[in-house]
Structure formats: C-alpha cells, structure tokens
Chains A and B, each alone.
Chain A
Amino acid sequence: LAKTTQPISMDSYEGQEVNITCSHNNIATNDYITWYQQFPSQGPRFIIQGYKTKVTNEVASLFIPADRKSSTLSLPRVSLSDTAVYYCLVGDIGSGAGSYQLTFGKGTKLSVIP
C-alpha cells in the first residue's frame, strides 16, 4: 500500500496561495491521488483527484510530477473558511487491479489567519 506523508500543520494569511505537498514514494502504477478536506466533526469532502501532470477545478489545482512520488495541492487565495484538515489519499479501487484498501495519512491542518 502506498503510504503518504504530509506536513502536520500550516499557517497562511487570507488571500495567499497555499501549497500542501504530499509524499507517496511507493505509489503504484494504477493508483490515483485524491485530496479531501475535512472540517471539525464532519466527514471528509472530496476536493480534487489526478493521475499525472496538472488538474484544476473550481476549488483547487493538483500538481503531480512525472515520477508521481509526490503531489502538491494548491489553494488559490485562501479565506478563513478554508481552515480545515487536508488529506492526501493514494489508492486504486476502480480498475480491478488494486488492493481496494485505502489509507489516509494524518492530514495537514491548515489555519488561515485574518
């Protein structure tokens, strides 16, 4: 199983761009990289998913280098409401070739400061 490593916490001021990097050195060929956001006492919520290069949606961007051993979640112009824990997840439950067991890391607690 691909294990992930993220910084435990990060602080940022409102309006700044935040980049959170996740290391996954033993990512498998069929694994996708998915990021989730979790607010206190709520279930995690899907943010973005990618396989390689760059993916962008209305919420965030995900940068994945060619070797796929890491990925960076980029949140543009954060606001106070972006204060949450962000999880990087590596796994494969769609292709039929993966292990189906998904492992979340400990997440990165982002605190946005006014």
Chain B
Amino acid sequence: EAQVTQNPRYLITVTGKKLTVTCSQNMNHEYMSWYRQDPGLGLRQIYYSMNVEVTDKGDVPEGYKVSRKEKRNFPLILESPSPNQTSLYFCASSPGLAGGRTETQYFGPGTRLLVL
C-alpha cells in the first residue's frame, strides 16, 4: 500500500532533550516536506527536500534540522526542543520532478508533540 509513515505518533518530552521524528514513504517520491500545524495558523512548511542530499528551508525552519540521506526517509530533528515547538507535525511526499507536473502531496498521519 502506498503510504507515508511517521513515528512516533505521539510524543511528550522536556525542554532541551533532543528528539527525532521519522518519516518514510514507499512511493519512490523525490519531493518530501515537513509541516507543522497550530490552531489558527494553518499548515506551515518547515523544511522540504527536492531529492537525496538536497534540502531547503520553508516558512518556519528555526529550531529544526532535517536530512535526506536516502530517498525514502526524511527525518525531522529537534536539537533542543522548546515549548513553542509543541504542535502537530505532518510529513508529506510528492512525485516532484520525476512525476511530472503535479503538486499532489501525500501526507502522513501526523505526530503530536508536547514539549514541557
């Protein structure tokens, strides 16, 4: 089944404790992206990746890191989480250039993060 998976789905942590949220897709998509969603602010893009070893900042990259060492995986890293990073996070993937003209993104189920 074609899908985007995220782990963990729920996470409670404390300020300053490094964490990683994994994202994996099995559709051989080139484009992957991370979003955070907060009440009243909609979806905001954190980072995106056009392909392996190619990443770039979205609208709200501060406090986050990403890596794209393999095509299928795009982990989101919070080196020193703070309470303002409490949010619902979504990973998404898209065919991108290889799939032709489309911005159709496939979203993961979301990761709800609480930073105390």
Number of interface residues of A (CB under 8 A): 26
Mark each residue of chain B from 65 to 106: 1 if its CB lies under 8 Å from any CB of chain A, else 0.
000000000000000000000001010101111011111111
Residues of the B chain whose Cβ atoms lie less than 8 Å from the Cβ of A32: 101-103
- B109 engages A43 (CB within 8 Å): yes
Residues of A within 8 A of B (CB): 32, 34, 36, 41-46, 49, 87, 89, 91-96, 100-107
Total B residues in contact with A, Cβ cutoff 8 Å: 36
* A104 contacts B44, C-beta separation under 8 Å: yes
Residue contacts A-B, CB under 8 angstroms, 6 given:
A43-B92, A43-B109, A44-B90, A46-B105, A87-B42, A94-B102
Is the pair A93, B103 in contact by a Cβ cutoff of 8 Å?
Answer: yes
Known: A34-B103, A91-B103. 4 other contacts (CB 8 A): A43-B4, A46-B104, A92-B103, A94-B101
The docked-state distance in angstroms from the alpha carbon of A79 to that of B15 is: 43
